[in-house]
Structure 1
Amino acid sequence: MTAAFHSRLKHGLVGVSIAALGCAAAVTWYAAKGEAATAKPDVPEAKLVKAVTVKPAPQPDSRLAIGEIRPQRESDLGFRLSGKLVQRTAVVGEMVRKGEVIARIEDQDYRNRLRSAEADVAAAQAVLVEASAAEVRLGALLAKGFTTRASYDAMLKNLRSAQAKLDSAKIGLEMARDQLAYTELHADFDGVVTATGAEEGQLVNVGQMVVRIADPQARDAVFSIAEAAFSNGRRAGHPPEIMVSLLSNPAISTSGVIREVSPVADAATRTFQVKVSLRNAPDEMRFGSSVAGRVNESSAPVVMLPGSALFDKDGKPAVWIVSASSAVELKPVVIARYETERVVVSSGLAEGDVVVTAGINRLREHEKVRIAAGESR
């Protein structure tokens, strides 16, 4: 072969190689373009959360409080007068009867005042008798014309004055009798003496407690609680049953109902006072005995959720609900009460709702989520 032929062959092979490379590049470009055209856009990965399925159920409500036994009716008795206490028959722990004299103060001054008042009445009566007789005489003389009308009118004035003085003296006598009676202290009702405030020989002031008595038949168990917890059960027609037992001997117990809940918290302790009226309190439940009170009742169906499920929406409680499409939405709820690690939801949720319990702070409305394995769905 000639040199010219070899030269043409060489140039032909080079051209074929270039063409082949161009075709390969074109095929590669079209393939890449096709893959790019058919590739799906990036989809955000669903967030992983923990959740529980709502199952409302009545919750046994059992709360315990420590208190003491107190009388429903108790009275501090004291004198209406000041004086020296000369007798006190009341002894702590003993029974007294209504009207019984339980203490006396020195009464000599008041006896003297009574005698003076009686003398004043007697003197006023004598003056009135004399004035009445004079009026009769002058009336007869006036009828015969032997005296003047002015003299008779003056006598009538004296008669009315004598009558007024007698009335005043009688009032003074009643007051003297009352004051003498006030030197004795009487029991207002049948009861037991729970305390004394003065001893014989001591000077007592008006109103000072000398004897304290209480009705032993009607007793309360009184509790101070941080929240008015027992009041939750004071629904109309359905007061909760309170079981009360001695701390020293729980076997000694009785039941009762709440009769009074303080509307205002104690300023120092911030607790509310609850009084439970006891039925047939055992004799062992003496005044001042420490007792435990427990209320047992079932509430309306509620939902128990961990505290981590609660979300704040405009200052109100809410929870995240997972829909059938795995999207979340915020749902307001009503909280019955807060406990140490959980909340009690009274309304806002239905049976079967799926509530997110972990990861709530990074969720957005209608965002897709995945529930962790082993969690409710």
Structure 2
Amino acid sequence: MKTTKPWSAALALGASLLLAGCGEEPEAQAPAPRPVRVVTVEKGVGGQVASFTGDVQAQDEAALAFRVSGRMIERSANVGDQVKAGQVVARLDPQNALNALRSAQAALAAAESQLVTAANTFERQERLLGNGFTTQANHDAARTALQAAQSGVDNAEAQLKTAQDNVSYTDLVADAPGTVTARGAEPGEVVQAGQMILQLARQGGRDAVFDVPANVLRAAPVDPVITVTLSDDPSVTARGRVREVAPQADPVTRTFRVRVGLDTPPAAMRLGSTVIGRVELGSDAAIEIPASALTAVNERPAVWVYDPASQTVALRNIELRRFSQASVAVETGLSPGEIVVTAGVQALHPGQKVRLLGAGS
């Protein structure tokens, strides 16, 4: 009887197991859905309101100054005083100006005397030349002297007018009614021509002045209505419109100075009062989503939109109206009720299955 060797039996068993293993392949496991956070898109109820703190200033403010130099001997107005048009608010010592005026008057009298003499001489030369008793050269010299004398009178009259003006310039006169807001010199000081003596806030209008960032200027509507209230009394309000925007930003704060002309401001809004201005940046409703949801595709802003039926995400381009560090306002590309991914957007690809960690609005 023939016996089977042990190693032959082991070999046959191993071969059968190998053939059995080749007939079946293990199934590949699908990747687990990626967890994300989402938000449901809702239509906004209105635009944002921006508020800024500023102060009340006069629409027209002028620095009153003397047109000549001298020692100031009087200042009849002080800070807070109401002045009228034509009122003398300060005076210089007029002695030097009066001396110059007397000198100019004397110079004019001398010039007029020379003119009379030159005119008489020319008349004699005119008669003598007609009768043949003088030469043409003497006649021409008399004519030249007469013209020079006339020019001397003209010059003396101009000098007299300048001296008279300088005397009048020793009185500083308010050119319009208003309120004195600052002073620049005291009686007894020697002041220079053009040096500010009094700062006058002219009557006729008041501005609320604010420092506004550039992004708010871009988001504000055209010709908006600004609501202005006193910071210490919100019941005192006024309305106004933007009258002037600085063409250049402040080099330190990078904000733009905006002047709002107030319509019939209440008396409580005195010059220098601290006020708060409010403006609605958008009167129409807008879709707002967190800024973390924003990504980009094809060099345009985009978001990941979640499909509840397939539990997958798709990339969609959107158009922005405005944005900030916390949120963005969507112009087009989204509809109320859609679900947008707000966390995990960098690790997604189109058609990927996701698992929601939380939802919000």
User: Do they superpose with TM above 0.5?
Assistant: yes
Query: What is the deviation of 1:90?
Result: 1.3
Which runs of structure 2 are paired with 1:90-239 in the superposition (5 Å)? 90-227=77-214, 229-230=216-217, 232-235=219-222, 239=223
Query: What is the deviation of 1:101?
Result: 1.3
Query: What is the deviation of 1:368?
Result: 1.8
What's the secondary structure of 2:233's corresponding residue?
Answer: coil
1:331 to 317, 320, 338: 317
Identity of aligned residues (%): 37
Distance of aligned partners of 1:372 and 1:249 in 2 relative to their CA distance in 1, 3 Å threshold:
same
Question: Could you tell me which residue of structure 2 aligns to residue 261 of structure 1?
Answer: 245
Query: Alpha-carbon deviations, 1:323-347, whole Å to 9, x = none?
Result: 67534225254250204x3233334
After TM superposition, the score normalised by the length of structure 2 is 0.86
What's the secondary structure of 1:92's corresponding residue?
Answer: coil
- Structure 1: 5+ residue stretches without partners: 1-6, 15-21
Query: Alpha-carbon deviations, 1:268-297, whole Å to 9, x = none?
Result: 233322211111111111111111112236
State the superposition RMSD in angstroms.
3.1
More strand by share: 2
Task: Say whether the 8 Å CA contact 1:192–1:213 is kept in structure 2.
Answer: yes
Query: What is the deviation of 1:149?
Result: 0.9
Distance of aligned partners of 1:232 and 1:161 in 2 relative to their CA distance in 1, 3 Å threshold:
same
Moved more, 189-198 or 55-64: 55-64
Question: Could you tell me which residue of structure 1 aligns to residue 50 of structure 2?
Answer: 63
Query: Alpha-carbon deviations, 1:127-169, whole Å to 9, x = none?
Result: 1122112111111111111111111011111111111111111
Question: Could you tell me which residue of structure 2 aligns to residue 354 of structure 1?
Answer: 339
Query: What is the deviation of 1:111?
Result: 0.8
Task: Say whether the 8 Å CA contact 2:67–2:193 is kept in structure 1.
Answer: yes
Query: What is the deviation of 1:46?
Result: 3.6
Distance of aligned partners of 1:347 and 1:179 in 2 relative to their CA distance in 1, 3 Å threshold:
farther
Task: Say whether the 8 Å CA contact 1:98–1:188 is kept in structure 2.
Answer: yes
Structure 2 CA distance, aligned partners of 1:166 and 1:293? 63
Structure 2 CA distance, aligned partners of 1:31 and 1:122? 137
TM superposition outliers: structure 1 runs of 4+ over 6 Å: 25-32
Structure 1 CA distance, aligned partners of 2:180 and 2:358? 67
1:277 to 251, 261, 271: 261
2:303 to 299, 319, 327: 319
Task: Say whether the 8 Å CA contact 1:241–1:257 is kept in structure 2.
Answer: yes
Moved more, 320-329 or 189-198: 320-329
Decide which structure has the larger Cα Rg and report it.
1
Structure 2 CA distance, aligned partners of 1:312 and 1:228? 21
What's the secondary structure of 1:292's corresponding residue?
Answer: strand
What's the secondary structure of 1:176's corresponding residue?
Answer: helix
Structure 1 CA distance, aligned partners of 2:247 and 2:324? 21
Structure 2 CA distance, aligned partners of 1:373 and 1:266? 46
Matched pairs, number:
351
